[in-house]
Amino acid sequence: MKSIFASLAVLALASHLATGQSVWINEVLTNPNGSDSGAAFGNEYFELRGTPGLALSGYYLLSLEGQGANTGDINQFFDLGAFSIGANGYLFARQNLSPYVATAGGATVIENTAGQGWGLTGASTVGHSGDGTQVDWENSASTILLIQKGAGDAPALTTDLDTDNNGTLDLPAGWTVADSVGIMDSSSANAADFSYGAITLRVGELGSSLEGVIVQVPGTPPTSAGAFYVGRKGESTGSTADDWMGAILNGSSAAPLDITFAYSSDEAFVGKKTPDMVYGGPNLVPEPGTLALVGLGCLALIIGRKSR
């Protein structure tokens, strides 16, 4: 018995080493309905998932520009070095005076308590740095990049990760990318936009990515233009349409707990609300759609008839 457990431990370690990864981007709300970081409340958030208790020393969460002459520039970043993944395997980060207080037990919850939104460079209590007075996530086209700097230099707001603007990343020495997702919501209106994510969730078929999978989100924004969410399905680890979903949001900044996925790259999420993804806990794994159930029913019927 002992040797079985030893073998399992070796296998687990081998698979960890094979992926080189023990922390993932799990949810990002960069562009909620209405004002993104008002004085009264801040409705943006992000969630990471990883090895329970993992210290995030050397980890940074970056937002890269995807438009115009500055594509690849680090618009803002979070230095996560002071934080650890929670005992339940989650870290939930929220803005000052966030409405998302119902968080899962065991999660690390970090909140900026110094000034609006994510806080100004040097003042933020969640390690946020942004250009000038920027205290909310830059909206699309953008790429959210989770990196481990290793022996390399720490990110700086002036760092350009696509120095030749050819759509592929030119990473500094020592850095490894733990996870990445590209966001092209409907406020992105240029076919020349780039993202650099292992997956990109995109509205309106505008913009491209040379780095990974592009997944289309159908529909048009019912209210505030651009409001958009990306998250993993359940506890996925890959970067395909089976792992991630993107959604156009409908709702009001004054009632953030009622913000609904109006359109989604996976229709099983349509009509669900952002709290259904659990702040600091496992994301929703939706039931199969009605059509899929009908299909399964037909299959069962056919198999039943054949066996008779």
Q: How far is CA 160 from the centre of its chain?
A: 21
For tokens 């790429």, the residue is: 143
Q: Please identify, using beta-carbon distances, which residue of 93 and 277 lies nearer to Ca ion.
A: 277
Q: How far is CA 59 from the centre of its chain?
A: 15
- Return d(Cα 251, Cα 228) in angstroms, integer: 11
Residues 6 or more apart whose CB falls under 8 angstroms from that of 86 comprise 52, 53, 106, 107, 108, 109, 280
Tell the smallest beta-carbon distance from residue 38 to Ca ion (Å).
12
Q: Please identify, using beta-carbon distances, which residue of 58 and 279 lies nearer to Ca ion.
A: 279
Tell the smallest beta-carbon distance from residue 8 to Ca ion (Å).
27
- Return d(Cα 295, Cα 138) in angstroms, integer: 42
Coil, helix or strand at residue 63: strand
Q: Please identify, using beta-carbon distances, which residue of 164 and 287 lies nearer to Ca ion.
A: 164
Token pair of 285 as six digits: 């794994």
Q: Please identify, using beta-carbon distances, which residue of 3 and 158 lies nearer to Ca ion.
A: 158
DSSP string covering 196-245, please? --SEEEEETT--EESSSEEEEE-S--SSSTT-EEEEESTT--S-STTTEE
Tell the smallest beta-carbon distance from residue 32 to Ca ion (Å).
7
Tell the smallest beta-carbon distance from residue 121 to Ca ion (Å).
16
Q: Which residue is nearest to Ca ion (CB)?
A: 72
Tell the smallest beta-carbon distance from residue 10 to Ca ion (Å).
31
Sites of contact with Ca ion (CB under 5 A): 30-31, 36, 47, 72, 136-137, 139, 160, 162, 164-166, 168, 170, 277-278, 283
Q: Please identify, using beta-carbon distances, which residue of 58 and 186 lies nearer to Ca ion.
A: 186
Closest C-alpha among 134, 145, 248, 244 to residue 195: 145
Tell the smallest beta-carbon distance from residue 51 to Ca ion (Å).
16
Q: Please identify, using beta-carbon distances, which residue of 58 and 138 lies nearer to Ca ion.
A: 138
